[in-house]
């Protein structure tokens, strides 16, 4: 196929609140129709015909080799046992293992590779009971994020007869006597509109050995359908915190007394975020209430009826963002983000600082693994130039040592990471990371990928990305922009890139591109941009606003139709981030930057590769379909490709081979359009 499939226009008018909008490609929203199925199939044929060339084969071979490594997670310590995920060399998915002692025999508990040999089954989550006797784990299939909970006896290796479905973004905590657990669950399919079955999250209690249909509803009755819920259990097993939010800027905390069955409201009506953790007989709250970069409040569990203003400040706000808290038997580990790189500060349980765990320059944490009943802990470190190294803290020796690390496929000393600062349109300064070979000569024509996200308070940090290695090995540059909408510099940084300030995210990203060109790293003919999900929306928006600034655009699982996004799946939760198109003031504002609604007939746009997947439960595939169709209708010279992956989702749980195929296609597209020498 030398030309893309024809996308017929069939204009309809849709009412959004009190407003009307016309849509030529509304018919592409219904993927169950035979004509839409054929259109999707033809688009894939066209994309594969054009992109599966020499470059694709080279990249696929190289990536296959780079990903043929043993991969592992941080161990979780329980009573002398260690539980962790590990994917052996050549396997498609991670398996769940445990061992007795750090050097004990490896015992497999759950192996998705044996459940389905095609790599379509994935371990979504796992939680160990307090004694380590049982494990509850969630399995998903074919990219769907709806998990089924299974329960396994660790000693016998056998599953209990009961299982629970459907669960998405599950939070689960065990009772301290291992007799059961609290968990979040969604309504079964077909009990609500198919578009909405990712909503309606509620809290239940399951007692082992009973029928899940008899599980007791604890929280969620007559609640908003877009609740997002997280659970925590006190050390004595008496109290359960229920953290509830409908957005990414504020939440409410409820306290459930397991003995009395009484629920008490701790925080409500406060426009701030609260993250609860139990510390002995106290409750800690990590919060940005009166603290943009977060602080920690504390109160005895017996005095939680106090207004939040009367809680004692345990750790005050600092100049850097407090990202997370981890608690061991005798330490508190606070992870801070300092100029978008991590640092761990260690405190004792009294709140006294004990020291700092130093990390390498331009590195980040992959995680910190602690058990509040154990003194030992693990943490993982990575950077653009080296894969994860796991460190272990041995309490008896008060010593940190390397526990495990992955072989590095590149020579670290051959590559460099830089952090530059960019001035945006309104004068705001933000950082951008550059990763490339050392001694790279600026010649203005270096093929460059600029990546961004800029939403939901997400922090984009340096990390080892195997899928980028073929690019930088060949002399290309990878740039990561920390734009507004993220959380890298606090909640205000997030709020400056949402709703009425969403254009700031786009302006920042455009400024990053202009910086790369002005500093002679690249030029417009060799500059590509890439984003995933909200980042896919980002790169679509800036490409529509500044079409001559970029040569190629990779928009992966993106949003595009921002006038109707709220109608599909869990996207109703995102009106707090983008605005609500049903409201006139938001409708007018969103219409100014919604990429699907700003494509102009007389404009030639860059080359595009859009991707989506049939099982995407987060961002409906209709966005990518409609955006591809409208771009193909106006571009006369530059090409527009759409790839729809079968039996895949938003990216979570994808098998290694499927991931490699997609990444090879992406690199093939970028190499073609940006003149990367193979």
Give the model's pLDDT for residue 441: 81
Q: Are residues 300 and 286 in contact, defined by beta-carbon separation less than 8 angstroms?
A: no
User: Stretch 488-492: mean pLDDT, rounded?
Assistant: 98
pLDDT confidence tier of residue 1, bands split at 50, 70 and 90: confident
Q: What whole-number distance in Å separates Cα of residue 538 and Cα of residue 498?
A: 12
Task: Report pLDDT digits (tens) over 60-100.
Answer: 999 999 999 999 999 999 999 999 999 999 999 999 999 99
Domain boundaries, the chain: 12-65+410-674, 326-408
Q: How far is CA 258 from the centre of its chain?
A: 32
Give the model's pLDDT for residue 195: 56
The pair of structure tokens assigned to 301 is 């569990």
User: Stretch 462-468: mean pLDDT, rounded?
Assistant: 97
For tokens 């459907």, name the residue. Answer: 166
Active site residues: 533, 616, 650
Q: Supply the pTM of this predicted model.
A: 0.97
Strand partners, 419: 433
For tokens 């590779």, name the residue. Answer: 113
Q: Find, among 418, 410, 404, the residue nearest to 369 by Cα.
A: 404
Q: Find, among 246, 215, 213, 250, the residue nearest to 229 by Cα.
A: 246
Q: What whole-number distance in Å separates Cα of residue 644 and Cα of residue 623?
A: 12
pLDDT confidence tier of residue 444, bands split at 50, 70 and 90: confident
pLDDT at 371 > cutoff 90: yes
Q: Alpha-carbon torsion 662, 539, 272, 368, what sign?
A: positive
Instruction: Please provide residue 94's backbone torsions phi and psi, each rounded to the nearest 5 degrees.
Output: -70, 145
Task: Give residue 89's region: left, alpha or beta (phi > 0; psi -120 to 50).
Answer: beta
User: Stretch 343-352: mean pLDDT, rounded?
Assistant: 98
Helix (H/G/I), strand (E/B), else coil: 366: strand
> Up-side HSE of residue 222: CA atoms within 13 Å toward CB?
0
Give the model's pLDDT for residue 191: 59
Residue-level length of the chain? 678
**Where does 416-557 have alpha helices with state H?**
469-473, 491-495, 502-518, 534-545
Give the model's pLDDT for residue 190: 59
Q: Are residues 292 and 491 in contact, defined by beta-carbon separation less than 8 angstroms?
A: yes
The pair of structure tokens assigned to 603 is 């404009």
Average pLDDT of the residues of the chain: 96
Instruction: Please provide residue 411's backbone torsions phi and psi, each rounded to the nearest 5 degrees.
Output: -85, 110
Which CATH number is correct for 12-65+410-674, 3.30.70.100, 3.40.30.10, 3.40.50.1820, 3.40.50.2020?
A: 3.40.50.1820
CB crowding 405-424: b at 16 or more within 10 Å, else e: ebeebbeeeebbbebeebeb
pLDDT confidence tier of residue 442, bands split at 50, 70 and 90: confident
Give the model's pLDDT for residue 167: 94
Q: Find, among 461, 419, 413, the residue nearest to 437 by Cα.
A: 413
Q: What whole-number distance in Å separates Cα of residue 383 and Cα of residue 386?
A: 5
Give the model's pLDDT for residue 39: 98
Give the model's pLDDT for residue 194: 55
Task: Report pLDDT digits (tens) over 627-667.
Answer: 999 999 999 999 999 999 999 999 989 999 999 999 999 99
pLDDT at 193 > cutoff 70: no
User: Stretch 337-366: mean pLDDT, rounded?
Assistant: 97
Task: Report pLDDT digits (tens) over 53-71.
Answer: 999 999 999 999 999 999 9
pLDDT at 415 > cutoff 80: yes
Task: Report pLDDT digits (tens) over 208-254.
Answer: 999 999 999 999 999 998 999 999 999 999 999 999 999 999 999 99
Q: What whole-number distance in Å separates Cα of residue 372 and Cα of residue 364?
A: 23
pLDDT at 156 > cutoff 60: yes
Contacts of 327 (CB under 8 A, 6+ apart): 277, 279, 333, 370, 372
Task: Report pLDDT digits (tens) over 545-580.
Answer: 999 999 999 999 999 999 999 999 899 999 999 999
Q: Are residues 320 and 344 in contact, defined by beta-carbon separation less than 8 angstroms?
A: no
Q: Starting at the edge strand that comes first in sequence, how are the strands of the sheet with 341-347 ordered?
A: 321-327, 332-338, 341-347, 353-357
* C-alpha distances out from residue 226 to 139, 199, 299, 552, Å: 23, 5, 30, 36
């Amino acid at each position: 196929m030398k030309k893309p499939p024809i996308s017929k226009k069939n204009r309809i008018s849709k009412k959004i609140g009190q407003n009307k909008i016309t849509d030529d490609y509304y018919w592409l929203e219904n993927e169950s129709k035979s004509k839409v199925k054929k259109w999707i199939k033809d688009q894939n044929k066209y994309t594969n015909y054009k992109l599966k060339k020499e470059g694709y084969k080279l990249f696929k071979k190289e990536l296959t080799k780079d990903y043929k490594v043993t991969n592992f997670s941080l161990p979780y310590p329980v009573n002398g046992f260690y539980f962790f995920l590990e994917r052996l060399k050549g396997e498609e998915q991670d398996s769940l293992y445990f061992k007795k002692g750090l050097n004990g025999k490896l015992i497999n508990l759950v192996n998705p590779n044996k459940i389905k040999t095609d790599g379509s089954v994935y371990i979504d989550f796992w939680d160990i009971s307090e004694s380590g006797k049982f494990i509850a784990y969630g399995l998903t299939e074919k990219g769907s994020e709806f998990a089924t909970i299974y329960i396994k006896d660790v000693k016998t290796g056998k599953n209990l007869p009961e299982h629970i479905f459907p669960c998405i973004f599950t939070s689960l905590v065990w009772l301290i006597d291992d007799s059961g657990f609290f968990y979040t669950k969604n309504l079964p399919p077909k009990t609500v509109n198919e578009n909405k079955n990712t909503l309606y999250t509620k809290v239940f209690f399951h007692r082992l050995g009973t029928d899940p249909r008899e599980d007791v509803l604890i929280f969620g009755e007559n609640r908003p359908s877009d609740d997002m819920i997280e659970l925590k259990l006190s050390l004595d097993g008496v109290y359960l915190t229920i953290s509830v939010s409908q957005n990414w800027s504020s939440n409410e905390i409820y306290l459930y007394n397991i003995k009395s069955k009484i629920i008490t409201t701790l925080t409500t009506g406060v426009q701030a975020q609260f993250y609860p953790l139990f510390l002995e007989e106290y409750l800690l709250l990590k919060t940005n209430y009166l603290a943009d970069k977060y602080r920690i409040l504390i109160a005895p569990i017996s005095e939680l009826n106090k207004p939040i203003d009367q809680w004692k400040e345990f750790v005050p706000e600092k100049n850097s963002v407090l990202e997370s808290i981890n608690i061991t038997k005798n330490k508190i580990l606070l992870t801070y983000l300092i100029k978008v790189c991590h640092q761990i500060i260690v405190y004792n349980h009294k709140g006294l600082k004990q020291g700092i765990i130093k990390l390498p320059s331009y590195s980040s944490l992959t995680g910190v693994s602690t058990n509040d009943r154990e003194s030992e802990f693990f943490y993982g470190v990575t950077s653009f130039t080296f894969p994860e190294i796991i460190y272990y803290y041995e309490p008896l020796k008060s010593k940190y040592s390397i526990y495990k690390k992955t072989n590095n496929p590149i020579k670290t000393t051959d590559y460099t990471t830089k952090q530059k600062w960019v001035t945006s349109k309104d004068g705001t300064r933000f950082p951008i990371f550059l990763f490339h070979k050392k001694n790279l000569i600026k010649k203005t024509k270096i093929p460059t990928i600029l990546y961004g996200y800029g939403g939901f308070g997400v922090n984009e940090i340096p990390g080892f990305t195997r899928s980028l290695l073929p690019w930088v090995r060949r002399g290309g540059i990878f740039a990561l922009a920390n734009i507004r909408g993220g959380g890298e510099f606090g909640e205000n940084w997030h709020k400056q890139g949402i709703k009425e300030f969403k254009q700031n995210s786009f302006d920042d990203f455009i400024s990053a591109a202009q910086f790369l060109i002005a500093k002679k790293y690249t030029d417009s003919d060799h500059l590509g941009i890439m984003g995933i999900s909200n980042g896919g929306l980002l790169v679509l928006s800036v490409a529509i606003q500044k079409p001559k600034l970029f040569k190629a655009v990779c928009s992966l699982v993106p949003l595009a139709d921002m006038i109707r996004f709220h109608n599909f799946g869990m996207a109703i939760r995102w009106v707090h981030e983008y605005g609500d198109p049903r409201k006139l003031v938001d409708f007018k504002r969103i219409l100014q930057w919604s990429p699907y609604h700003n494509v102009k007939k007389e404009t030639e746009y860059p080359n595009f590769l859009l991707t989506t997947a049939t099982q995407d439960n987060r961002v409906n595939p209709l966005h990518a379909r409609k955006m591809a169709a409208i771009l193909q209708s106006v571009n006369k010279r530059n090409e527009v490709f759409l790839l729809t992956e079968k039996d895949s989702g938003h990216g979570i749980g994808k098998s290694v081979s499927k991931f490699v195929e997609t990444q090879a296609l992406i690199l093939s597209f970028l190499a073609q359009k940006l003149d990367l020498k193979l």
